[in-house]
Amino acid sequence: MSNPVYLALDLPQLDAAKALAEKVKGHVGGLKLGLEFFCAHGSHGVHEIAQVGLPIFLDLKLHDIPNTVAGAMQAIHVLEPAIVTVHASGGRAMLEDAKAAAGEHTKVVAVTMLTSLDERDLAKQGIGGTPHDHVMRLTELAHASGIDGIVCSGQEVGAAHKQWKDGFFVVPGLRPAGSAVGDQKRVVTPRKARDDGASVLVIGRPISRASDPAQAARDIEATL
């Protein structure tokens, strides 16, 4: 893709989300709609945002028994998303069924470890090893299941790319040099993630909360 940046439109107001998308559409490659947006506006909201004319990434992070996830994937066929997320921790059967139920042109990518978590959070969940270890284990699982790729932080994407040469890698939690980290714990710059093998760069607040979102998007695009 010519521009790997997907703007995270995690806004509860449909009109505001669509207006922001229109402002920056010339400087991003797609639009990510997360759980907050989907719960507020459902399929209608997705159709409205799709009118902007960019690929849609539905970041729903589906995680349930295989049959339920497969049913959810079938239910969103009509939305024709370019990318949909599921949780890698749902297991191989769930991942396989999610891919089998997805639309022909939809990439299914598995969330490995949220960028808001670190090693201490893993330990509290009873998961041993470092975030890197955990992401590599789940990357191997995702690859074996036959889905398209994974979601991981920029700190792991280089190693994941080496492990899975033709995988599709979505990297969130990115921050341009000098911007606030916020609630993210494992961040890198968009350029660093791209150089390390990221296929899609998910960027939200550095664009959506900028005084001039279009200029912020242009500035990020210029670094890639």
Tens digit of pLDDT for each residue in 88-100? 999 999 999 999 9
Residue 117 in this model has a pLDDT that exceeds 90: no
Burial of residue 68 (CB within 10 Å: 0-12, 13-18, 19+) is: middle
Q: Is 18 a catalytic residue?
A: no
Mean predicted confidence (pLDDT) in 128-146? 96
Q: Higher model confidence: residue 2 or residue 163?
A: 163
Q: In this predicted structure, what is the pLDDT of residue 173?
A: 83
Q: CB of 77 within 8 A of CB of 103?
A: yes
> On the CB side of 195, how many CA atoms lie within 13 Å of its CA?
8
What share of the chain has pLDDT > 90, as a percent? 86
Which member of 61, 107, 185, 192 is catalytic?
61
- Which helix (DSSP H) or strand (DSSP E) does residue 131 occupy? helix 131-145
Instruction: Give the residues across from 32 on adjacent strands.
Output: 8, 57
Q: In this predicted structure, what is the pLDDT of residue 176?
A: 81
Mean predicted confidence (pLDDT) in 55-61? 97
Q: CB of 202 within 8 A of CB of 8?
A: yes
Residue 33 in this model has a pLDDT that exceeds 80: yes
**Which amino acid is residue 119, in one-letter code?**
E
**CA pair distance 175, 208, nearest whole angstrom:** 12
**CA pair distance 29, 106, nearest whole angstrom:** 16
Query: How many other CB atoms sit within 10 Å of the CB of residue 97?
Result: 21
Contacts of 219 (CB under 8 A, 6+ apart): 176
Residue 139 in this model has a pLDDT that exceeds 80: yes
**Which amino acid is residue 73, in one-letter code?**
M
**CA pair distance 108, 100, nearest whole angstrom:** 10
Query: Range with the lowest mean pLDDT among 45-49, 177-181, 187-191, 207-211?
Result: 177-181
What share of the chain has pLDDT > 70, as a percent? 95
Mean predicted confidence (pLDDT) in 27-56? 96
Band (85; pLDDT cuts 50, 70, 90): very high
Query: Range with the lowest mean pLDDT among 41-50, 81-90, 177-186?
Result: 177-186
Residue 132 in this model has a pLDDT that exceeds 70: yes
